[in-house]
């Protein structure tokens, strides 16, 4: 406020400078750690202009979700291959330019509320711009926790300046957004509800279909799990998610066979053919994860899941030696978690 309003600006600057330097050092350290040992240097397999176009569209979608949060989802399946032909891209570029313009004008006119509102919005979104540093998830509701404060500050200012109907407007906003919040929380009753909702709102999200398949498998709905896994396998572009979808495909096949066996139908050797073929393909993909640049997590966990599935298939083939050979290849820090099933 002192800097924006010109009151003791020089003294305020020197008082704030140590905080700014410590903050920048923390950001630099976090960025370095993210690039060296975390999700801060992910390759998406697209050009930088395409990624810029995609993230411009994400910026517009964030504003749309704040204004009318009817299509919130746990995953949005945003493609990193953006295009200038998309209206979302142009809406995002215009809204971004508007936010920057508001910040500049507010600084020149020493309008503290404008500086705070536009500044929090822009600075809050800066770490998750995904162009640099490049992170794995392009769009997530949690990325708005801090930036949204800037929008709310500006909205509060507009309501404060309104002389007539201010109370009525506040009541309407409270009832409207409160009702939407209650409706949204009902989607989080269980995994099936929340991920089924995500597949409806983001049908192009491979992650949503995979998680919905996992939820169905957890409920023993093997046919539904298989269909969802097949959809995820079709949509997945990231190698590790493609492997996980393939594992779910083969696992749901095993579940169907096990269910039939419990009902008295014997498992025939020819029934294992499709599962063996699927498992072989998935194992090949899993073992190749170490050499692929698009992998965003430790591949050993996914590879361990593939070895476990391979061991289960060999066990069904009544080949314990090959089953133990597959399980002996597991290298993971927490192997007991994989055996819980």
pLDDT digits (tens, 9 = 90+) for 201-251: 999 999 999 999 999 988 889 889 999 999 999 998 888 788 888 888 888
pLDDT digits (tens, 9 = 90+) for 259-290: 777 777 776 666 666 777 777 777 777 777 76
- The average pLDDT across 81-102 equals 94
Q: How far apart are CA 192 and CA 217, in angstroms?
A: 10
Going by C-alpha positions, the residue among 70, 63, 51 that lies closest to residue 197 is 70
**Residue 152 belongs to what H/E stretch?**
helix 147-161
Q: What is the DSSP letter of 39?
A: S
Q: What is the DSSP letter of 332?
A: -
- The average pLDDT across 109-122 equals 89
3-class secondary structure for 220-289?
Answer: CCHHHHHHHHHHHHHHCCCHHHHHHHHHHHHHHHHHHHHHHHHCCCCCCHHHHHHHHHHHHHHHHHHHCH
Going by C-alpha positions, the residue among 273, 231, 225 that lies closest to residue 248 is 225
User: Please, what's the b/e burial string for 98-117 (b: 16 or more CB within 10 A of its CB; e: otherwise)?
Assistant: ebeebbeebbeeebeebbbb
pLDDT-derived band at 298, boundaries 50, 70, 90: low
Rounded-to-10 torsion of CA 273, 275, 281, 282? -170
User: Which DSSP string do the residues of 71-120 spell out, in sequence order?
Assistant: S--S-----S---TTSHHHHHHHHHHHHHHHHHHHHHHTT-HHHHHHHHH
Q: What is the pTM of this model?
A: 0.78
Instruction: Answer whether residue 337 shows pLDDT above 50.
Output: no
Going by C-alpha positions, the residue among 90, 80, 85, 198 that lies closest to residue 129 is 80
pLDDT digits (tens, 9 = 90+) for 147-183: 999 999 888 888 877 777 788 888 898 999 999 999 9
3-class DSSP assignment, residue 134: strand
């Amino acid at each position: 406020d002192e800097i924006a309003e010109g009151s003791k600006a020089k003294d305020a600057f020197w008082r704030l400078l140590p905080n700014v330097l410590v903050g920048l050092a923390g950001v630099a350290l976090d960025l370095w750690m993210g690039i060296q040992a975390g999700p801060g240097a992910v390759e998406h397999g697209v050009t930088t202009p395409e990624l810029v176009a995609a993230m411009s569209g994400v910026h517009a979608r964030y504003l749309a979700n704040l204004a009318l949060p009817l299509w919130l989802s746990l995953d949005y399946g945003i493609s990193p291959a953006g295009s200038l032909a998309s209206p979302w891209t142009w809406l995002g570029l215009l809204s971004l330019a508007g936010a920057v313009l508001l910040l500049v004008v507010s600084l020149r006119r020493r309008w503290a509320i404008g500086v705070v509102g536009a500044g929090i919005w822009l600075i809050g979104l800066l770490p998750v711009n995904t162009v640099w540093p490049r992170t794995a998830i392009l769009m997530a509701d949690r990325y708005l926790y801090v930036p949204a404060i800037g929008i709310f500050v500006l909205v509060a200012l507009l309501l404060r300046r309104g002389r007539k109907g201010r109370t009525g407007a506040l009541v309407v906003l409270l009832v409207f957004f409160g009702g939407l919040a209650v409706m949204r929380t009902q989607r989080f009753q269980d995994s099936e509800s929340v991920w089924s909702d995500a597949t409806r709102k983001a049908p192009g999200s491979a992650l949503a279909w995979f998680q919905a398949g996992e939820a169905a498998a957890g409920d023993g709905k093997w046919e539904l799990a298989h269909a969802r896994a097949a959809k995820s396998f079709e949509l997945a572009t990231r190698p590790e998610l493609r492997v996980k979808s393939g594992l779910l495909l083969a696992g749901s096949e095993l579940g169907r066979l096990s269910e039939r066996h419990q009902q008295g139908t014997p498992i025939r050797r020819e029934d294992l053919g499709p599962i063996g073929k699927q498992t072989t393909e998935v194992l090949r993909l899993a073992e190749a994860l170490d050499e692929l640049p698009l992998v965003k997590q430790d591949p050993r966990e996914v590879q361990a899941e593939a070895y476990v599935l391979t061991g289960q298939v060999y066990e069904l083939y009544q080949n314990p030696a090959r089953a133990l050979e597959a399980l002996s290849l597991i290298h993971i820090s927490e192997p007991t978690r994989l055996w819980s099933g």
